[in-house]
Amino acid sequence: MGGQIAITGAGIISALGTGLEETRRNLLSGFCPIARPRFLQTSHSEIPCAEVPYSDSQLYLLCQEDKERVLPRSALLGIIAARQAEEDAGLEPGCRIAFINGTTVGGMDITERYLKDYQAGSGYDRLIPLHMDGVMTDSIADSLSCQAAFTDTVSTACSAAANAIAFGAELLLSGKYDVVMAGGTECLTRYHFNGFNSLMILDSAPCRPFDASRKGLNLGEGAGFIVMELPGHAHRRGARIRAMLSGWGNSCDAFHQTASHPEGRGALSAMQKALAKAGLKPSDIDYVNAHGTGTQNNDLSEGKALMELFGKDMPMVGSTKCYTGHATSAAAALEAVISIMCIENGFVPANLRFENRDEGLDFSPQTQTVEGVALKHVLSNSFGFGGNDSSLVFSSVSAL
């Protein structure tokens, strides 16, 4: 049996909303924020994405940071979500925590802005280290009222935040830390916007996960963090437990640097490992928050892996990337917080814009939002370039 980890705090910012309340409200109302970029400086301004609706200057105000302290946009987003999470968990100032962040772009937006100055040596040298992922992680940790005694950064492309959360859970079970905050943050950058565009997997319209006519993904941005403790520790300090992290699994396709294995072999194995860790059978899962990017390749291979795992007993399946876009390394963190929210509030958001089933798949995603449903166990999938496949299982407190 795996570890049962209590989740006592959560924070989120994405195109969908800032904070748990706004995010839940917008999910339930079917709000789709995917639109042309307003803040990202790109010549591909016709390609839609899911931007957090604030400029960098507005984000500085939101997180009350001094603009003299130059911070990448991903750090600003991270500070907002991480502060929400520590406040939500009711952690005392100075509380000793481990802080684990999943990211890939780090401070790439700063590098894009100042690269020519760096090359010319024109007085911006102190900003050079901001490029690095770990510097970004530490800048978030430094903005917390908790004391981050240990910080680390995990980067497995689009599953990074899932692996950060899993590593955080293992740190708790090892007894090294009593409280861990884990998740991920990623802002839109010209670098990866162009990278995904050059791969020709960006849809020119809002994405349609699992639909037969799907044309690709929309990039998004945001940050999500959760506070985790062993249940005994949470009970002793009288913390409210929102949900449990009951399983986590990681496998590698070992197939191709960007394409998923056609039968979803790594995806299947990651889900099986997560279920085994949680001590659950596939039939125990009530809802799958799928990776569901909207690309032909991902949705077909993930769908096949789901068919192999669940057979005829397919639970509700849906992707929330039709709301948040694909926030790459932060995606798993946004979806972890959304999964927790679904369990606590008893709802499953609709997989928007699905019309026709893919001929390779024998199931359809949830097309209507359902409320008033008791979710005991939710499986959240995150798959990255390099075949880095990870799954997390979240469970309701009463299910255990």
Partner 1 sequence: MKKQRTYIISSAQISVQEPFCAAGDFGEIPSGGGLYPCKEPDYKPFVSPMASRRMSPILKRSIAVSKRALLDAGIACPDAIVAGTGLGCVSDTESFLLKMTEEGESLLNPSRFISSTPNTIASQIAMELECQGFNSTHVHDGFAFEGALQESIMMLGRGEVSNVLLCAADQTTPLLHSMVDRESIWKGLPCSEGAVCFILSNEVPVEGAASIEDMLVCRDNPLRELERMMRENEISWDDIDCVVTSGFPGRELQDFPFIPEDKTVLTYKQYCGQWLTASAFGMLTCCSSLSAKDSARRRILLCNHSGRTYSFIILYGLCTN
Question: Using CA atoms, how far apart are residues 64 and 44, in angstroms rounded to an integer?
Answer: 32
Binding status of residue 292 toward partner 1 by CB under 8 A? no
Q: Name the residue with tokens 């070992």.
A: 254
Binding status of residue 133 toward partner 1 by CB under 8 A? yes
Long-range contacts of 124-132 (CB under 8 A, 24+ apart): 127/70, 130/70, 130/71, 130/72, 131/106, 131/107, 132/106, 132/107
Binding status of residue 139 toward partner 1 by CB under 8 A? no
Q: With CB under 8 A as the contact rule, which of the stretches 25-33, 220-228, 252-260, 340-348 interacts with partner 1?
A: 252-260
> Which of 252/397 has CB closer to partner 1?
252
Q: With CB under 8 A as the contact rule, which of the stretches 11-19, 52-60, 256-264, 334-342 interacts with partner 1?
A: 256-264
Site track 39-78 with partner 1 (rule: CB under 8 A), x = hit: ---xxx----------------------------------
Binding status of residue 387 toward partner 1 by CB under 8 A? yes
Binding status of residue 138 toward partner 1 by CB under 8 A? yes
Q: Write the burial class of residue 123 (CB in 10 Å: 0-12 exposed, 13-18 middle, 19+ buried).
A: exposed
Binding status of residue 126 toward partner 1 by CB under 8 A? yes
Beta pairing, strands 377-384 & 287-289: parallel
Q: Write the burial class of residue 24 (CB in 10 Å: 0-12 exposed, 13-18 middle, 19+ buried).
A: buried
Instruction: Report the residue from 75, 130, 157, 278 that binds partner 1 according to the rule CB under 8 A.
Output: 157
Binding status of residue 386 toward partner 1 by CB under 8 A? yes
Which letter does DSSP use for residue 41 in this model? -
Question: Using CA atoms, how far apart are residues 102 and 186, in angstroms rounded to an integer?
Answer: 8
Report the amino acid identity of residue 377. Answer: H
Q: Say whether 326 is catalytic.
A: yes
Instruction: Report the residue from 28, 35, 62, 128 that binds partner 1 according to the rule CB under 8 A.
Output: 128
Question: Using CA atoms, how far apart are residues 224 and 56, in angstroms rounded to an integer?
Answer: 18
Q: Which helix (H) or strand (E) element contains residue 392? A: strand 388-395
Q: Say whether 44 is catalytic.
A: no
Tokens, residue 369: 């939002």
* DSSP characters over 149-167: EEEEEE--GGGHHHHHHHH
Q: Name the residue with tokens 């940071």.
A: 65
Beta carbon of residue 396, minimum distance to partner 1 (angstroms, whole number): 26
* Site residues (CB under 8 A) for partner 1, limited to 176-235: 176, 190-192, 194-195, 197-199
Binding status of residue 143 toward partner 1 by CB under 8 A? no
Residue 297 sits at φ, ψ, to 5 deg, of -65, -50
Binding status of residue 171 toward partner 1 by CB under 8 A? yes
Site size for partner 1 (CB under 8 A): 65
Binding status of residue 251 toward partner 1 by CB under 8 A? yes
Tokens, residue 108: 């790439």
> Which of 60/118 has CB closer to partner 1?
118
Question: Using CA atoms, how far apart are residues 104 and 186, in angstroms rounded to an integer?
Answer: 7
Question: Using CA atoms, how far apart are residues 156 and 329, in angstroms rounded to an integer?
Answer: 7
Binding status of residue 374 toward partner 1 by CB under 8 A? no
> Which of 42/364 has CB closer to partner 1?
42
Catalytic residue among 291, 322, 342, 377: 291
**Catalytic machinery residues:** 158, 291, 326
Residues that bind partner 1 (CB under 8 A): 42-44, 104, 111-112, 115-116, 118-119, 121, 125-126, 128-129, 132-135, 137-138, 141, 148-157, 160, 163, 167, 170-171, 173-174, 176, 190-192, 194-195, 197-199, 250-258, 265-266, 269, 384-388
